[in-house]
Amino acid sequence: MRVSEPAELGTTISELSHVVRAYRGMRGVDVIHDHTLAGPLYPYRPPSVPVVTTIHGRLTPPAMDVYRAIGRNTSIIAISRNQFSRAAGVPVSRVIHHGLDLSTVPAGAGRGGYVCFVGRMSPDKGVMEAIAIARKAGFPLRIAAKMRAPDELRYFREVVEPALGPDEEFLGEIGDPEKYELMGGAFAFLNAIQWPEPFGLVMIEALATGTPVVGTPVGAAPEVVDHGTTGYLAPVHELAALLPRVASLNRTDCRASVEERFSSDRMVADHLALYAQILAQRLPSGGQGRGALHENQVQDPQTRGA
């Protein structure tokens, strides 16, 4: 076994090297769920073992070309209905929302007297919008953000840091315990994203702590946030006026929505149901690029036949 080189993570050579070694070790398995892009295209897969992959990132035109090719002999999972709607020509077999282990996330009382933002230090994530919304609504804002890549550091230094005022506190990057404490103490979680995010795990993390989400209705946000029950979704210019209305929402409903729809148990069950279906329908040749959905066939991800 060779230890990965941190400096090479995310590069093509690093991923290909991992794929070659991983598939070489795949013996005696029923299904391979491969979360790389290169693996499903690797020609030396174990014979007759079906492969599944999940679309995790942005569906750019080049990515669409890759997934269309992958779909010829691999079952593809989308992580939201919104993502599926953007996957023209990609044979998606199932829509499965992410899940969260709630045993690791304590519920909070939301009595910290602030709103919070957690995400990457990127314009797409809406940190500047969060600052403007909180400031206009008169709420202190606490910001925690991943900030390691050069573009993230540059965006913070050149754009975000000069905009911070006395009511905005930048906490840097924090671990899960600190993150859940921050979210749980917040009056509301601001998620004014500026791109069609395919899911948004941070939203279900906030809801799991009991904190309502206030954000923009783009990407998969409407699949996660129940407007008027677990938060509010609206264009950016309307969010400051909606923020005080969070006081009327029940924090118990926020956590219950994750327990019912976004638990890790539900996510695991959905994956197992897909694996069982693939094995039951497997062709003698080992091909499994069948059963793709059409957009008008997409059901709720919690429905086993979705």
Number of other CB atoms surrounding residue 100 within 10 Å: 19
pLDDT of residue 288: 45
Tell me the residue length of the chain.
306
What is the span of the domain harbouring residue 246? 106-261
pTM value surpassing 0.75: yes
- 302 domain residue, yes or no: no
Which one of 41-55, 248-262, 290-304 scores highest in mean pLDDT?
Answer: 248-262
Q: CA 157, CA 164: separation in Å to the nearest integer?
A: 11
Same domain, 177 and 200: yes
Do 75 and 175 share a structural domain?
no
The whole-number pLDDT of residue 285 equals 46
pLDDT tens-digit profile of 79-105? Answer: 999 999 999 999 999 999 999 999 999
The answer to whether residues 15 and 131 belong to one domain is: no
pLDDT digits (tens, 9 = 90+) for 272-284: 999 999 999 875 5
CATH number of the domain at 147, please.
3.40.50.2000
Same domain, 88 and 118: no
Q: Hey, is 232 helix, strand or coil?
A: strand
- Which own/partner pairs from 58-66 qualify as long-range (CB within 8 Å, at least 24 positions apart)? 58/195, 58/198, 59/83, 59/86, 59/87, 59/90, 59/198, 64/88, 64/89, 64/90, 66/37, 66/41
Same domain for 118 and 209? yes
| Pairwise CA distance, residues 141 & 133, whole Å | 9
12-57: per-residue pLDDT in tens?
788 888 899 999 988 889 999 999 999 999 999 888 899 999 999 8
Number of compact structural domains in the chain: 2
Task: Let me know whether 162 and 24 are in one domain.
Answer: no
Residue 183 lies in a domain: yes
